[in-house]
Amino acid sequence: MQLSNYQDGWVHVIITVNHSANQVKCYYDFVEQSPEYDRNGLTLTGTSLTSGSTLCIGQDALGHEQDHLPAYLDDVMIFNGVLTSSDVSALRTYYGK
Which has the higher per-residue pLDDT, 2 or 29? 29
pTM: 0.67
Contact predicate 19/44, CB 8 Å: yes
Average pLDDT over every residue of 53-71: 69
Q: What is the mean pLDDT of residues 48-71?
A: 67
Give yes or no for residue 44 having a pLDDT over 60.
no
| % of the chain exceeding 70 in pLDDT | 58
Mean pLDDT of the chain: 75
